[in-house]
Structure formats: structure tokens, C-alpha cells
């Protein structure tokens, strides 16, 4: 399962290693690390958000090892995608590498492509794709769309967005 974890590191060198070691030891797959170095907590610690893929029974062990390394674990939660959006892409979707486009979003950890419908009417004709993206929240949807917008511009794809999001 996918788990999100908010931890706090002391603002001294070497702390990140202490945070990542327990994950590797427990064979958790680290998906994202968001390191908010500019947003120190009142306790002068650095907040870090982790998203990892692991088995539910490993979570307690990971938490214990982190704390043993002197890292404060503020919150552990199942990673739930609460927001979802459909986007249509038109252009040479396949030739320009649809997999890359999906990877760009999936590797964020806060959003992923969960469905894809593709139509290629013929060689030299424009293909169309409908993709569904799930994300943690509204803000993450917007971030995923910004990534998609960049990729679309690079690959000359027309992106058709739902009317209720900011284009």
C-alpha cells in the first residue's frame, strides 16, 4: 500500500540519511520526498513529507526505526487520492511517447494516471487520448496539470481540460 508520512529532521547535516536508511532496511519503496527546508517548524526542525510503498505490517517497524534515529514522526496515513480529473490529449500522442507523459506524472508520487483510452484512426492522422489522473488533493491536481501542460507543449499536443479547473 501507499503511505504518506510527515517527519521532522533536525536542521543539521546528515539527517536525511538517517531518515532514509530505515526505509531501505525495511524494503519500503520510496516514491517521493518533499523537503521543506525553507519552512522551519517552531521547534527549528525541517518538515519533510514522504510517500512510500510498503506492506501494512512494516509501517510500525519503519516508524520505530525512524524514531530510534532521532527523527520525529508527526503523522502516518494511508495515501489516498481524493481528487480525480479527466483530460483529453490530441496530437501524435503515441509517436511522441505516451509512456513518458504518464511517467512524468506518476513519478511525482502525489498524482498518477489511472486510466487511459486511446484512439489512433490511422497513420498520419491525429490520435486522441482520454486520461484520468488521480491526485492527493486539488492543489496536486493543479500541479499534475502543470506538468502535463509542459509535456504537451513540448510534444505539440492539444490538451483539453475540464471547464471547472484553471486552464
Binding positions for another protein, rule: CB under 8 A:
86-88, 90-91, 117, 119, 121, 125-130, 158, 160-163, 167
Question: What are the grid coordinates assigned to 7, written together?
Answer: 517527519
Q: Which is nearer to another protein, 62 or 113 (CB)?
A: 113
The nearest distance, CB 119 to another protein, in angstroms, is: 4
3-state secondary structure of 8: strand
CA nearest 3: which of 22, 28, 21?
A: 28
The burial class, CB within 10 Å (0-12 / 13-18 / 19+), for 141 is: buried
Q: Which is nearer to another protein, 66 or 131 (CB)?
A: 131
Helices 98-106 + 138-154 axis angle, to 10:
150
The nearest distance, CB 48 to another protein, in angstroms, is: 33
Contact 2, 53 (CB under 8 A): yes
Backbone phi and psi for residue 44, each to the nearest 5 degrees, phi listed first: 65, 30
The nearest distance, CB 141 to another protein, in angstroms, is: 14
Q: Which is nearer to another protein, 79 or 92 (CB)?
A: 92
The nearest distance, CB 88 to another protein, in angstroms, is: 5
Q: Which is nearer to another protein, 2 or 132 (CB)?
A: 132
Q: Which is nearer to another protein, 28 or 93 (CB)?
A: 93
3-state secondary structure of 45: strand
CA nearest 90: which of 163, 167, 161, 164?
A: 161
The nearest distance, CB 96 to another protein, in angstroms, is: 14
Amino acid at each position: 500500500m501507499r503511505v504518506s508520512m510527515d517527519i521532522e529532521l533536525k536542521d543539521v547535516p546528515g539527517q536525511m540519511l538517517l531518515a532514509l536508511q530505515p526505509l531501505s532496511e525495511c524494503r519500503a519503496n520510496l516514491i517521493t520526498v518533499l523537503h521543506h527546508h525553507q519552512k522551519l517548524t517552531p521547534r527549528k526542525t525541517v518538515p519533510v513529507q514522504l510517500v512510500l510503498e510498503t506492506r501494512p505490517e512494516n509501517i510500525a517497524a519503519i516508524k520505530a526505526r525512524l524514531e530510534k534515529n532521532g527523527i520525529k514522526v508527526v503523522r502516518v496515513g494511508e495515501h489516498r487520492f481524493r481528487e480525480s480529473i479527466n483530460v483529453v490529449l490530441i496530437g501524435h500522442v503515441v509517436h511522441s511517447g505516451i509512456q513518458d507523459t504518464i511517467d512524468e506524472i506518476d513519478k511525482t508520487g502525489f498524482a498518477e494516471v489511472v486510466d487511459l483510452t486511446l484512439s489512433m484512426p490511422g497513420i498520419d492522422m491525429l490520435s486522441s487520448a482520454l486520461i484520468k489522473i488521480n491526485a492527493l488533493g486539488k492543489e496536486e491536481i493543479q500541479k499534475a496539470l502543470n506538468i502535463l501542460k509542459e509535456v504537451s507543449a513540448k510534444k505539440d499536443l492539444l490538451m483539453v481540460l475540464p471547464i471547472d479547473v484553471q486552464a
